[in-house]
Structure 1
Amino acid sequence: MHTVDEIPWGTILSIVGLVVPIIAFVWEFGVAGRKRLGYRVQMDTSARDLTQSAEADAFAKLKLENGRGLDDPSFALLRIENSGISSIRPGDYAVPEEHKVGLHVHFPGRRVVGMAITEFSTESLRDSFGADSGLQPREIVEGDQRRTTGIIDLPKVTLNRRGHYKVLALLERVDEVDDEQKKPRVIGAITGGAGTGDIMLTKSHTTGLSKPMAALIAFLMLVSAGQLVYSLFLEPASAPLDCARGKLALVGSTAFVPVLQEAGRLYAASCPGSDFTIDAKGSLEGLITLEQRGRTAGPEGPSALTFSDGEKPDRFPQLLPRPVAFSLFTLVVNKEAGVQDLSLDEIRRLFSGQIANWRDVGGRDVPVRLVNRHSDSGTRRTLEQQVLNGKWVPGDNSNDCREAGAGAPAGVVRCSRASTEDVLDAVAQVPGAVGYSELGIAAGRTDVLPVRIDGHAATLEGALHSAYPYWQTEYAYTYGEPKADSLAASFLRYLTNQVGKDVVRAHGHRPCAELGNPVLCRPSASTTP
């Protein structure tokens, strides 16, 4: 228990002094969510207001096909844009998966006479607005006639970071509304976004901080930074309550490496005297390493932890499991395959070698090339157990993943790679290649495409409701029970506290303690590969 005198008030005040101005600054200029979709109204003008030339009156005389003139015509140009830091995918729109429409543009008091999509940040976006995309002005039936309303339905468009497209609309007034009420607005929401995920108006700010406010924030930041430097580097610092010193090797799953790298770095920054090394060569290799170190270690036990995608085989009785996270995995394909949705039966026939060309499953005329992990990979074992119905993936016949080696059996080209990143690199570079990866790592790549299974993307909800099969529990293994004051025990506790859970969550996993049904993260019967 700390006394009042032992509480590091200087450090606390310094941090508060730094955080408050930073929050004020960020809030002033807008907070970008992990996913954020916004729009700008770049033009909204009445054709009757155009009086700068003799020809301008032609806009006010616009007519329909039946010869009727438009009542107070106007033009509007809206820019729909990804204003966040992550890509927006069709599955991110907060509408049922079977719906084509993701957003609605509403023009109060007006109806849509004509519309067009006029600009794309990348030419590939044009394909998202085909005849079957759901793009259309909404219509209503009045008697025997149909007429458009003031709403345009927009399809669920994939937008990479800073991606955008523009909607141009010719409108006609139908009701009297004031200028404030008739402003166009985009209606919809995305999941995983900032706040409620609503579509935000992202027009540029034209005013900044006042000079006195800017000077005050700058002064506070300088003072706080100086005090923080003094508190951290000049005053004697005491370590946090649960810190431990020493060296600890983190081995095993390559899929969990990003979590271990960040968690180890943050722990070492908070706990001086702790040092972590990461040597990930696959789940099974990690279990073997831990077991070998444990047999030769002294009473203190081995200074190592192993992380495994799924449970250990039966032959490691001394290794004790601790469920850490619920992890999702995904199949990935090369962009030339032309496929992003496969049934379970198609996947099983692919990996058994029965499907040799992507055209056989609705893709392009490109040969299938299978890029696997080595047999000691937990990601591979999870694929075999959860997706391939317990059938082991056949052996390799290629080193370069492009052509079968000399003397190798004929058939689909198969190769193996040592790590998740190596698999993703091979899939990206080899036409027609298909492989698999932990979801968080794959989601950070733009050079490969994720594959839905039976129409279901890799989501926690899909996995929890048995709609998506490719998932696994990530376990941490110790050799016997580590001492409570050891670095291994302390780091395991760190992974399950708030900071550690934030790290796990940030990399696409879900901490076991946060699942509505924690039984999914508990050890079950062991499996032997």
Structure 2
Amino acid sequence: MNKRILTVAFVALATLAFAGCGKSNAKASKNATDAAPNSKIVAVGSTALQPLAEQAAEQYKSSNHGANITIQGGGSGAGLSQVATGAVTIGNSDVFAQQQKGINSKKLVDHQVAVVGIAPIANKDAGVKNLSRKQLVGIFTGRYTNWQQVGGKKQAIVLINRTQGSGTRTTFEDLALKTSQVKNAQEQDSNGTVYQMVKKTPGAISYIAFSYLKPDVQALSLNGIAPTEKNVTTNNWPVWAYEHMYTKGAPKPAVVKFIKYLQSKHIQQTLIPKMGYIPVTRMQVARTADGKIEEVNQPVTK
């Protein structure tokens, strides 16, 4: 299992174990556990993680009567900044806290709940299904302005970007474009809005999380490699990110219980794949905060 996942589990277990030490502490722990379902949890941030967090919260609340959980978007930057100040319980993010300027990552605890792939998408009428990486960079930096220049129809290219602070944007620029010096274009604050705009706007191109992909937009392959779960697990499709739930310090029992629910075998094997995310345990590689790729969970060859 990924070393970071083990670390997260250890922190959570250590927190609960500490609460259980001593006779009076045992009583306090019991009261805290009993009150856990009624403790308010507010998770803010990544719109890529938002659909999974919302669905998991609904399922969790239905089986834990009285649970009070609110899930909101706003982008990874907002999630990290708000959890760092203690304004919210959980900061949802597509990027490591170390990647976000102005965030003291040492005060935050990382809980990884899934992996999400990110794909460039185009309006289906553009007439393109595959681009070279050079062509993709050329489009987003303004070198190419018509789909005909990259093998498509004679139609103007309409760029749609995500706002600054978006984890999806950071991941796409770092791993697909390898540059943040992109052409000025309209910006949208959520994966869902981007999907709708690309679907309805002739000539449009942007990028969204796999969890938002639908047949009425064209997911673009890069250098002949398709944006699929299988390709993400081996890093053949390198445009992917962990879905992080950050807490300020060790989480309280109610928060531990909810996060462990998302990390449970049941959710990892059912809800996460169903909604277009990838369980961390299916990954054959791991990525560190500084972008290094490490091999993990490699199958045994005979």
TM-score, length-scaled by structure 1: 0.46
Cross-structure match for 2:271: 503
Give the counterpart of 1:275 among 52, 59, 68: 68
Q: Is the 8 A contact 2:233 2:283 kept in 1?
A: no
- Aligned equivalent of 2:210: 439
> Higher Cα Rg: structure 1 or 2?
1
Aligned residues: 255
On the 8 A contact 1:310/1:474 being kept in 2, the answer is: yes
**What is the aligned partner in structure 2 of residue 52 from structure 1?**
none
**Cα pair distance change 1:242/1:350, threshold 3 Å:** farther
Considering Cα pairs closer than 8 Å and 6+ residues apart, tell me whether 1 or 2 has the greater RCO: 2
Whether the 8 Å contact between 1:314 and 1:526 is mirrored in structure 2 is: no
Q: After superposition, what is the alpha-carbon deviation per residue over 1:220-277, rounded to whole angstroms, capped at 9, x for unaligned? A: xxxxxxxxxxxxxxxxxxxx99963321111111111110111000100011111111
Name the counterpart of 1:473. 242
Structure 1 runs not aligned, ≥5 long? 1-239, 295-301, 396-413
In structure 1, what is the Cα distance between the partners aligned to 2:173 and 2:242?
15
Say whether the 8 Å CA contact 1:370–1:415 is kept in structure 2. yes
Matches within 5 A, 1:190-229: none
Q: Which residue does the alignment assign to 2:281?
A: 513
Offset of residue 291 of structure 1: 1.7
- Indicate the SS of the match to 1:510: coil
Contact 2:44 / 2:73 at 8 angstroms: preserved in 1? yes
Pick from 341, 354, 359 the counterpart of residue 143 of structure 2: 354
The residue aligned with 2:220 is: 451
Report if the CA contact (8 A) 1:242-1:490 is conserved: no
Report what 2:8 is aligned to.
none
The residue correspondences of 1:392-431 to structure 2 (distance < 5 A) are 392-395=181-184, 414-431=185-202
Cα distance change of structure 1 residues 490 and 393 upon mapping to structure 2, 3 Å threshold:
farther
Q: For residues 49-64 of structure 1, what are the structure 2 equivalents within 5 Å? A: none
Cα distance, 1:460 vs structure 2: 2.8
Distance (whole Å) between structure 1 residues aligned to residue 136 and residue 206 of structure 2? 11
Q: Indicate whether 1:383 and 2:152 are aligned.
A: no
User: Tell me, what secondary structure is at the counterpart of 1:455?
Assistant: coil
Structure richer in helix, relative to its length? 2
Separation of aligned partners in 2, 1:508 and 1:463: 12
Moved more, 307-316 or 381-390: 307-316
Determine the structure 1 residue equivalent to 2:37: 244
Look up the match of 2:94.
Answer: 309
1:265 is aligned to 2:34: no
**Coordinate RMSD, CA, aligned:** 2.2
After TM superposition, where is structure 1 displaced by more than 4 Å over at least 4 residues in a row? 240-243
Instruction: Name the structure 2 match of 1:219.
Output: none
- Aligned counterpart in structure 1 of residue 114 of structure 2, from 307, 325, 330: 325
Q: Give how far 1:284 is off.
A: 0.5
Q: Supply the distance in 2 between the matched residues of 1:242 and 1:383 (Cα, whole angstroms).
A: 41
Distance 1:315 1:513 in 2: 31
Q: Percent identity?
A: 28
**Residue segments in structure 2 that go unaligned for 5+ positions in a row:** 1-32, 293-302
SS in 2 for 1:360: helix
Q: Given that residues 142 and 182 in structure 2 are in contact (C-alpha distance below 8 angstroms), is that contact kept between their aligned partners in structure 1? A: no
Whether the 8 Å contact between 2:233 and 2:282 is mirrored in structure 1 is no
